Amino acid sequence: MEWGMQNRLAQLIQPDGHALFLPVDHGYFQGPTRKLEEPRKTIEPLLPYSDALFITRGVLRSSVSPNNAKPVILRVSGGASMVGKDLANEGIAASMEDAIRLNVAAVGISIFVGSDYEKESLLNLARLVDDGERYGIPVMAVTAVGKELGKRDARYLALSSRIAAELGATVVKTYWCEGFEKVVRGCPVPVVMAGGPQVDTELEVFEFVSDGMQKGAIGVNLGRNIWQNDFPVAMIKAIRAIVHGGASAQAALEIYEGEKAGVAAKP
Ligand code: 5RP
């Protein structure tokens, strides 16, 4: 692997081989998502505990200090919205030149396997990989499901993840699912897990993160289940303990409860 590409990957994937990416890119199709209405306020307290931010160029420039940033995975796909005809109808919405200007560690793009725009999204990925190779910039492919959350099963996610890897993605972001080991086994590049919409209990999050790590994920790209929680710093610290410390789900819950009690005890 070329030096620049390797150096950028080393900024993202920590010496233990694991990674905690914090996605705050949701506004690019959801608008002012709950608890991400003012991105700077959401991002700042969580920055010290994340290994990288997954973010659009607009929020990066407006809401993150260049003097106090983490490595950036720049969300470069876009062009669709929650209220539009089809979330899968995305194009590449930022140039590689601008990504370089922003000194990013990687770029990220969604693919929509099985959708009406399957071909376009896959060819967008392939083009981005070509551009990334030219400049030494890794590409994270996001196996998106749009509004069809039911698609998050091992068969579909293994299919999407493998296709992303075959087209040259450096890292694949997919969802945890029952039988997650099938997804990881079939994907020859590192896999990180997203969380999806907020689930009912913290323990559920810790359990799937822990299970996914044991089954071969290198980490997470987990957003709403961190920053929509009432105690987001407690949440990210607990998840960090699983990803980088090998903590069990139960141990993570104890970390979360301890941090939460500490916050609540402050006057
Ligand atoms: C949405 C994304 C997010 O980066 C991804 O889904 C992870 O966030 P969450 O854990 O909230 O699902 O691609 O644009």
In the reported structure, the alpha carbon of residue 76 is separated from the centroid of ligand 1 by a whole-number distance in angstroms of: 14
Q: Is there a domain that residue 185 lies in?
A: yes
pLDDT digits (tens, 9 = 90+) for 167-183: 999 999 999 999 999 99
Check pLDDT > 80 for residue 266: no
**Domain membership flag for residue 215:** no
266 is catalytic: no
The reported pLDDT for the residue numbered 59 is 98
Q: What is the mean pLDDT of residues 1-16?
A: 96
Q: From the CA of 222, how far away is ligand 1's center (Å)? A: 6
The token duo for 81 is 């919205």
Q: Which residues line ligand 1 (CB under 6 A)?
A: 23, 25-26, 54, 142, 194-196, 221-225
Residue 162: partners with Cβ closer than 8 Å, 6 or more residues away: 186, 187
Mutate to test the pocket of ligand 1, among 25, 139, 160 (most ligand atoms within 8 A of CB): 25
Residue 113 within any structural domain of the chain: yes
Give the model confidence (pLDDT) of 19-74 as tens digits.
999 999 999 999 999 999 999 999 999 999 999 999 999 999 999 999 978 999 99
Domain assignment of residue 186, yes or no: yes
* Predicted pLDDT at 239: 98
* Catalytic-labelled residue, pool 70, 151, 173, 237: 173
CA 6 to chain centre: 19
For residue 191, what is the enclosing H or E element? strand 191-194
In a domain, 250, yes or no: no
pLDDT exceeds cutoff 90 at 145: no
Pairing of strands 52-55, 72-75: parallel
pLDDT digits (tens, 9 = 90+) for 79-129: 999 999 999 999 999 999 999 999 999 999 999 999 999 999 999 999 999
Reference 59, options 73, 78, 39; nearest CA is 39
Please state, in angstroms and as integers, the Cα–Cα distance from residue 10 to each residue in 1, 3, 15, 103, 105, following that order.
Answer: 12, 10, 8, 14, 9
User: Is residue 131 predicted with pLDDT exceeding 80?
Assistant: yes
Q: Separation of 87 CA from ligand 1 center, angstroms?
A: 14
- Predicted confidence at residue 267, as pLDDT, reads 65
| Full residue range of the structural domain in which residue 39 is found | 3-194
Is residue 234, in this structure, part of any structural domain at all? Answer: no
CA distance readout (Å), 110 to 29, 47, 70, 133, 243: 12, 24, 22, 18, 24
Question: Could you tell me the CA-to-CA distances from 15 to 10, 21, 159, 218 in Å, in that order?
Answer: 8, 15, 29, 12
Query: Is the residue at 264 inside a domain?
Result: no
pLDDT greater than 70 at residue 151: yes
For residue 152, pLDDT over 90 is answered with: no
Residue 183 CA to ligand 1 centre (angstroms): 18
Backbone angles phi, psi at 211, to 5 degrees: -60, -45
**β-bridge partners, 21:** 52, 221
Range scoring the smallest mean pLDDT among 106-110, 142-146, 210-214, 242-246: 142-146
Q: Is residue 238 part of a domain?
A: no
Hey, what are 232's tokens?
A: 């987001």
* Domain containing residue 174: CATH number: 3.20.20.70
* Count: domains in the chain: 1
Task: Work out which ligand 1 atom sits closest to the CA atom of 23.
Answer: 4
